[in-house]
Amino acid sequence: MGTYNMQQGLTMAADDTKQRRTKVLILEDNPTHQKLLEWFLAKEPFEIFLAQSTEEAWSYLETESPRILIVDWLLEDESSGLDFVRAIRARNLPYYTYIIMVTAKNSKAELVEALEAGADDFISKPFDSDILLARVHIGQRIVQLEDSLRQNIAEMEQLATYDMLTHLLNRRAATEQITAVLERAKRERTPVGFCMIDIDHFKQVNDTFGHLAGDEALRTVAARLTTSVRPYDIVGRWGGEEFVVMLPDTPAEQVAEIATRLLNAIRNEPIRLNEQTTINLTASIGALAIQTPEQSLDEYIALADNALYEAKSAGRNRVAL
């Protein structure tokens, strides 16, 4: 059995490895048993929380999100450890809590009862520190699995929401957010603005400078659109060299002003394609100032498309409102 190094415990706490230490909550009403459990676990750098009552344990569960819980079966009354486990499983905590029940009980019926209540593991007292640690390690593997699944989901959500090239909202995510803004504007009867933006003669950029240079131009345009609007406006890549901008709570005069600002953001500064080359781009914008939203998003998109077509037909490099 290793010796608990108080100094090491303290330096670990000051270190940023603290973030990665598994949080273990011990709920045990007997102070001697509690100390013993803590001492067994002190062989490894866990972050340990000690509770003697279920109230104390709940407060740690809510504030610290311990990932592993070691819980005694017999607390203040015959069944409270088990009830506590059932209550945890009934609640929607932000993380899965891996639960090891420790108890002097050792019958088959009791083992089954604990597992069916929601415990992941069951250890009979008296137990060996190596066995306890090995079982806590099972919990750590489950915790790591959960963390890596969460990470994968977060990455998939990122990929499903943002366009890889420009990092703007992709068409699906932009549609979702724009729909939400439109629905709220309908309920609250507030004006909104909507712009469909298409870069002029963009095919020539690719044909002349290559696709990579074209990609770089699209990234720059996207960044300029984003910095030209307010944080709560929605900017998305609709496809190819087309972008959409939704302006919540925006009266008509402001829609015209912002659309012109977007136009200028693209055309007023040359765009750097690579070390050697900069070009000047223009865009055409179909803008809608929607005083009292009533129609569907599809209908507004069709109207914005028509306005965009007008801007193109009238000679490009302009806003049609």
Q: Among Mg ion, ligand GH3, none, what does residue 215 contact (CB within 5–8 Å per kind)?
A: ligand GH3
Q: Among ligand GH3, Mg ion, none, what does residue 214 contact (CB within 5–8 Å per kind)?
A: ligand GH3
Positive or negative torsion for Cα 218, 215, 314, 295: negative
Q: How many residues bind Mg ion (CB under 5 A)?
A: 9
Chain-centre distance for alpha carbon 106: 43
Retrieve residue 31's tokens: 């102070």
What is d(CA 232, CA 154) in angstroms, rounded to the nearest whole number? 22
Closest separation in Å from C-beta 292 to Mg ion: 30
Which one of 127-135, 171-179, 206-214, 224-232 is the stretch in contact with ligand GH3 (CB under 6 A)?
Answer: 206-214
- 64 catalytically annotated: no
Q: Among Mg ion, ligand GH3, none, what does residue 230 contact (CB within 5–8 Å per kind)?
A: none
Retrieve residue 107's tokens: 């019958």
The correct pick among 193, 214, 248, 286 for binding ligand GH3 (CB under 6 A) is 214
Q: Among ligand GH3, Mg ion, none, what does residue 72 contact (CB within 5–8 Å per kind)?
A: Mg ion
Closest separation in Å from C-beta 202 to ligand GH3: 3
Location of structure tokens 């311990």: 66
What is d(CA 48, CA 21) in angstroms, rounded to the nearest whole number? 9
Using rule CB under 6 A, residue 206 touches ligand GH3: yes
Using rule CB under 6 A, residue 211 touches ligand GH3: yes
Closest CA to 124 of 142, 100, 140: 100
Q: How many residues bind ligand GH3 (CB under 6 A)?
A: 16
Q: Write the DSSP symbol of residue 296.
A: -
Using rule CB under 5 A, residue 202 touches Mg ion: yes
The correct pick among 93, 104, 131, 165 for binding ligand GH3 (CB under 6 A) is 165
Closest CA to 251 of 293, 282, 285: 293
Closest separation in Å from C-beta 247 to ligand GH3: 23
Select 29 or 44, whichever has its Cβ closest to Mg ion: 29
Annotated catalytic residue: which of 64, 157, 183, 241?
241
What is d(CA 265, CA 226) in angstroms, rounded to the nearest whole number? 10
Which one of 14-22, 26-34, 213-221, 268-276 is the stretch in contact with ligand GH3 (CB under 6 A)?
Answer: 213-221
Number of other residues whose CB lies within 10 A of the CB of residue 151: 10
What is d(CA 62, CA 235) in angstroms, rounded to the nearest whole number? 37
What three-state secondary structure class fits 193? strand
Burial class (CB in 10 A: 0-12, 13-18, 19+), 70: buried
Q: Which parts of this chain interact with Mg ion (CB under 5 A)?
A: 29-30, 72, 74, 198-199, 202, 241-242
Where on the chain is the footprint of ligand GH3 (CB under 6 A)? 165, 198-203, 206, 211, 214-215, 218, 240-241, 312, 316
Residues with a known catalytic role: 241
